[in-house]
């Protein structure tokens, strides 16, 4: 072989090693997103497992609030379905968007349940209800930290996949932009609540 052939072989080899290195880093980043989502999944499961106990405890006191209790159970079911879909593809924008919407609906129905519960002093004083509410609050805090970790991993992945020359490998092998988890989806949700006395 001639010197020119050796140079071409060396360049092709170096290019292949470079491409494999970038590909492996992108896979590693995508796997970190999946791991971060798994942490969210753990906290969502914990929240979803607490809800039936909360509803059953409240049911005895809220006989006239069946619609509120049914809304919580329905929202929980929708959220569980959305989590199952997102678990399969934690970098899919559609699945993450559906999860955000379903979890927002669940949060809304839980908020309504808690507001209704405030109107029943016996329920408020119930030790089981207090314990479940405290545990739910703790879970929400853990969920917030898990979401933050997920978004950090998504940011690192998206940054790496969008920078040149990594973007070439990312586009060639289908590394799409991963979606962030958002706490709010519309401008109306971002508005501060108005309190009037």
Q: What is the pLDDT of residues 108-151, one digit of tens each?
A: 999 999 888 888 888 878 888 889 989 999 999 999 999 999 99
> Mean pLDDT score of the chain, rounded to an integer?
88
Instruction: Give the Cα-Cα-Cα angle 165, 170, 176 (nearest 5 degrees).
Output: 135
What's the pLDDT tens digit per position in 45-96?
999 999 999 999 888 888 778 889 999 999 999 999 999 999 998 889 999 9
pLDDT of residue 125: 83
- Distance, CA of 126 to chain centre: 32
- Classify burial at 128, counting beta carbons within 10 Å of its beta carbon; exposed 0-12, middle 13-18, buried 19 or more: middle
DSSP string for 148-177: HHHHHHHHHHHHHHHSTTHHHHHHHTT-PP
Taking 80 as the threshold, does the pLDDT of residue 189 lie above it? no
Position 197 confidence tier, pLDDT thresholds 50, 70, 90: very low
Q: 197: helix, coil or strand?
A: coil
Question: Distance between CA 71 and CA 161 in Å, rounded?
Answer: 41
Taking 90 as the threshold, does the pLDDT of residue 156 lie above it? yes
Token pair belonging to 30: 């995508």
Sign of the dihedral through C-alpha 163, 92, 32, 41: positive
pLDDT of residue 126: 86
Taking 70 as the threshold, does the pLDDT of residue 194 lie above it? no
Structure-model confidence comparison of residues 146 and 183, the more confident one: 146
Question: Distance between CA 140 and CA 47 in Å, rounded?
Answer: 8
pLDDT of residue 65: 83
Angle between helices 93-118 and 127-162 (to 10 degrees): 160
Q: What is the arithmetic mean of pLDDT over 162-186? A: 86
Instruction: Give the Cα-Cα-Cα angle 95, 98, 102 (nearest 5 degrees).
Output: 140
pLDDT of residue 118: 86
Position 183 confidence tier, pLDDT thresholds 50, 70, 90: low
Share of the chain above pLDDT 90, in %: 68
Position 106 confidence tier, pLDDT thresholds 50, 70, 90: very high
- Classify burial at 156, counting beta carbons within 10 Å of its beta carbon; exposed 0-12, middle 13-18, buried 19 or more: middle
Q: Which helix (H) or strand (E) holds 2?
A: none
pLDDT of residue 190: 46
């Amino acid at each position: 072989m001639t010197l020119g052939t050796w140079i071409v072989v060396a360049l092709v080899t170096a290019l292949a090693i470079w491409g494999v290195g970038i590909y492996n880093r992108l896979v590693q980043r995508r796997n970190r997103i999946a791991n971060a989502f798994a942490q969210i999944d753990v906290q969502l499961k914990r929240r979803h497992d607490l809800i039936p106990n909360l509803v059953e405890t409240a049911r005895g006191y809220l006989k006239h609030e069946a619609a509120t209790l049914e809304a919580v159970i329905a929202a929980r079911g929708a959220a569980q379905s959305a989590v199952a879909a997102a678990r399969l593809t934690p970098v899919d924008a559609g699945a993450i968007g559906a999860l955000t919407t379903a979890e927002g609906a669940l949060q809304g129905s839980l908020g309504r349940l808690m507001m209704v519960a405030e109107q029943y002093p016996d329920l408020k004083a119930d030790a089981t209800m207090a314990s479940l509410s405290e545990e739910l609050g703790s879970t929400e805090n853990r969920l917030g930290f898990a979401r933050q970790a997920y978004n950090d991993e998504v940011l690192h992945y998206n940054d790496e996949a969008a920078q040149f020359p990594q973007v070439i490998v990312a586009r060639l092998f289908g590394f799409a932009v991963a979606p962030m988890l958002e706490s709010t989806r519309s401008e109306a949700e971002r508005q501060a609540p108005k309190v009037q006395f």
